[in-house]
Amino acid sequence: MTRVFSLFLLLILAAGLAPAKADSLRATGDLGVVIERASGSLLIVDQSERARIGRIEGLGDLSHASVVFSPDQRFAFVFGRDGGLSKIDLLTQSLVGRVVQSGNAIGGAISDDGRLVAVSNYEPGGVRVFDVETMDLIADIPTGSKTIGLVDAPGKRFVFTLWDEGETWIADFSTGDEPEITRIKNIGKNPYDALITADGRRYIAGLFGEDGLTALDLWESSPMPRRILQGYGKGEKALPVYKMPHLEGWALAGERFVLPAVGRKEVLWIDARSLEEVGRTNTYGQPVFAVARPDGRQVWVNFAHPLNDTVQIIDTQSGEVIKSLKPGPAVLHMEFTPRGHEVWVSVRDAGRIDVYDTASFKKLGEISAESPSGIFFTARAHRTGL
C-alpha cells in the first residue's frame, strides 16, 4: 500500500501537480457577500476574520439585490433589480457569467439539487429558469403579472406568487425541463412577499391590499389557501408605508412565526401549528425585517424610514423588547452567523457593516463598504427558502 501511494505521489510530482499547501487553500464555509447597492458591486467577506477579502464590480443595478449559493458554496448567484443574473466564483473572486434576462427583477431561488436557478420578474413579469453551469435559459414561465415571493421547495420545485392576480404558482421540474404548473387562486389582494419554512411545508404570503396573510400547506396534494391574521388592523388607521416589510425565509422563532405588520409599529406572533395569532409586540417603528437568531431565542428587528437608524432585539420567550441599538443611518439588513453567536448589520448611509455579539450586544468590529445593503453567508446554501 505504501509503495502504491509513493508511486502515485511521484506521478503527481512528475506531472507538475504537487499537492497544494494547506495555507494556500481557502474553504468556502466561512465566506459571505455584501451588496454595495450604489456602485453595483459586491464584497466577498470572511466571517472569522471579520474582514473584506475581495470585491467584484460591474453587476448592474443592485438597489434591491439578493443572493443564493450553489450547494458546494463556491458560486454566488446575484439577482439585480435591472434583470441581471450574475454568477460569482468566490474562490477566484471573479464574475464568471452574467445575463440580463428581463427589464426589472425582484429576487430568485436555486433548486434543491443545485442545478437550476430561477428569477422572479416585475417586467415583463413571470419567472425565467436557467442552468447553473451554462447560464442557458431552461424555461420561461409567463404569468401576465409581477411575480413576488419566489422560493425553492423540496422536489425540484419553485413556488411564487402573482401581485396582480393574487395567485400562487408551483413550478415542478422533477420530471424534466418542461415544468408542471399548479395554480392556486384566491391568495388575496396584492401579495407583496412570502416565506417558506425550513421543512418546505408552509408557504405564507403577506398581503398589501388587505390586512392579513395567506398560508399554504405544500405537503397537501392540492394545497388550499388559508387566511390568517385577517383584519389585524381593523379600526386603526395605517401609517404611510415607506418601505415594504420583508418576509422571506427568516421569521420562524421556535414554535412561532414573528412577522412585521404592514403600516404599523408592531410585530405579530403566530403559532406555527395552528396558524392562530398568539400575541403582538410594539416596536420603535414600522418593521422591515424581523430576523430570528438560528436558535430562535431572539428576534432582531430593523425599521423603515425615517426611523431606520435603530435595531431592536426581542426575547422570544417573553415577547418583550430587551435591547435597542442605534448603529447609524439607514440600517438595511441583518445576517446571523450560522450558529447565531454574531450578527452582521449593514448601515448604508454610514458606509459600513457592524458586527455584534448576540449575547452581550457588544459591537465587535466594523467593515467599510460602499452603501451596503444585503448580507448573505454561504451557509444559506443548505437551507430551504434562502
Going by C-beta distance under 8 Å and a sequence separation of 6 or more, which residues neighbour residue 13? none
Going from the C-alpha of 4 to that of each of 8, 239, 375, the distances in angstroms are 6, 74, 47
248 domain-assigned = yes
Name the grid cell of 320. Answer: 418583550
- pLDDT tens string, the chain, 386 residues long: the values are 455 445 544 444 444 444 445 456 888 999 999 999 999 999 999 999 999 999 999 999 999 899 999 999 999 999 999 999 999 999 999 999 999 999 999 999 999 999 999 999 999 999 999 999 999 999 999 999 999 999 999 999 999 999 999 999 999 999 999 999 999 999 999 999 999 998 999 999 999 888 889 999 999 999 999 999 887 765 566 666 656 677 865 678 888 989 888 889 999 999 988 999 999 999 999 999 999 999 999 999 999 999 999 999 999 999 999 999 999 999 999 999 999 999 999 999 999 999 999 999 999 999 999 999 999 999 999 998 88
Look up residue 384 and give its amino acid. T
In a domain, 38, yes or no: no
The C-alpha cell at 30 is 466561512
- Identify which of 113, 178, 249, 179 has the alpha carbon closest to the alpha carbon of residue 170: 179
- Within a domain: 371: no
> What DSSP letter does each residue of 182-228 carry, written as one string?
EEE----SSEEEEEE-TTS-EEEEEESSSS-EEEEETTSSS---EEE
Q: Phi first, then psi: what are they for 349, rounded to 5°?
A: -80, -10
Task: Indicate whether 78 belongs to any domain.
Answer: no
CATH number at residue 265: 2.40.10.480
Q: Which residues contact 14 (CB under 8 A, 6 or more apart)?
A: none
Q: Do 169 and 249 lie in a common domain?
A: no
Task: Answer yes or no: is 225 within a domain.
Answer: yes
- Domain annotation covers residue 6: no
Domain boundary among 326, 346, 368: 326
**Tens of pLDDT, residues 14-24:** 444 444 454 56
Residue 367 located in a structural domain: no
Q: Read off the pLDDT of residues 124-151 as tens digits, 9 standing for 90 and up.
A: 999 999 999 999 999 999 999 999 999 9
Pick from 169, 203, 236: which residue ends a domain? Answer: 236
Domain of 262? 244-326
Q: In total, how many domains does the chain have? A: 2
Same-domain check for residues 133 and 208: yes
**229 shares a domain with 120:** yes
Closest CA to 164 of 209, 224, 230: 209
Cβ(202)–Cβ(196) below 8 Å: yes
Supply the DSSP symbol for 349.
Answer: G
Q: What is the CATH number of the domain that holds 162?
A: 2.130.10.10
